[in-house]
Amino acid sequence: MDWFYTFPHMDDNALRDLKKGIDDAFRAFTRAYGDALETFFYPLQQFLIYAERFMLKTPWPIMVLLVLALAWGASRSWRIVVGCLVTLLVIGYFDMWEDTMRTVSMIFVSTILSITIGIPIGIAMSRSDGLRSVMNPILDVMQTMPSFVYLIPVVMLLGIGKVPGLIAVVIYAIPPMIRLTDLGVRLVDKDVLEAADAFGSSPWQKLTKVQLPLALPTIMAGINQTIMMALAMVVIASMIGVQGLGQPVLKAIANQYFTLGIFNGLAIVGIAVIFDRVSQAYGQRLQKHREIVHG
């Protein structure tokens, strides 16, 4: 009756040989193409360095004013602007400004990359049911895979540093961008598309002048979710050398520094709330504008 209590499984030697074969193949690929991959991602590294340098070298009053201007432009809400101001001043007062700017630069670059890659894929999915059926299981795996697992292949390929961390963040954060772009384009009213066809619009004109503008509120929801997931992953990516608010949290866990972990954790929460409120408010403004236009 042992078979009833013990699940049948592959022979231990065969399983070990399978795992070893996969690991050896991945290491061989890394040795063969590691340098080429580093060269390929060099522009990305420079972009990240410039973004971080800009945020660190810009005097803090100017950075605060830039954030407040963006918050006002997106939300038109004094409550959100005052909330951003208070959050940033508290972060600076508790000497977490530089780590916060490093984290914000990583979020900024990863969000730009996710938008650049995710929107075209989402548009392609909205136009092809076959591609959507292929991509959906891949996106399901990407969203359910434990975030720590993403660190393993990027470290093996590119080592420890900012670029491997950035790639792991983008892979983890991009699925909502792709899914909600696909959903937003598919939800565009068929009558509006027929009207565009009646006016002789080309497929490109129909996409850029009709579908994307109408799908923008849904796409903004995707951007919001991408930012939130990127912020969560940046903390985990501190394990492979990504600087910012995640490293003090990691240090606090290793050394049992309660206040260090709490303060930096609250700074992460504050940045998350700023991103969330501003992007949500902008998405709601776009939604209201669309309702007025279609009134």
pTM of the model: 0.86
pLDDT tens digit string along 260-294?
888 888 898 889 889 888 888 887 777 776 555 55
- Report pLDDT for 294: 52
Could you tell me the fold of the domain covering 41-294?
Answer: MetI-like fold (1.10.3720)
CB 67 within 8 A of CB 88: yes
- For 133-186, the pLDDT digits (tens) are 999 999 988 888 887 788 888 877 777 788 888 888 898 899 999 999 999 999
CB-CB contact of 41 with 251 (8 Å): no
Rounded to an integer, what distance in angstroms lies between the CA atom of residue 67 and that of residue 210? 31
Of 137, 232, 130, 124, give the one whose Cα is nearest residue 178.
124
Share of the chain above pLDDT 70, in %: 94
Task: Report d(CA 174, CA 169) in Å as an integer.
Answer: 8
Q: Where are the domains of the chain?
A: 9-40, 41-294
- The residue ranking higher by pLDDT, 122 or 238, is 122
CB 283 within 8 A of CB 220: yes
What is the per-residue pLDDT for 137? 92
Q: Give me the half-sphere count of Cα atoms (radius 13 Å) on the Cβ side of residue 124.
A: 12
Mean pLDDT of 122-128: 91
Per-residue model confidence as pLDDT tens digits over 12-42? 788 788 888 888 888 888 888 777 888 888 8
What are the pLDDT digits (tens) for 68-119? 999 998 888 899 999 999 999 999 999 899 999 999 999 999 999 999 999 9
Rounded Cα gap, residues 290 and 295, in angstroms = 8
Supply the pLDDT for residue 35: 79
pLDDT tens figures, 42-55: 888 899 899 999 99
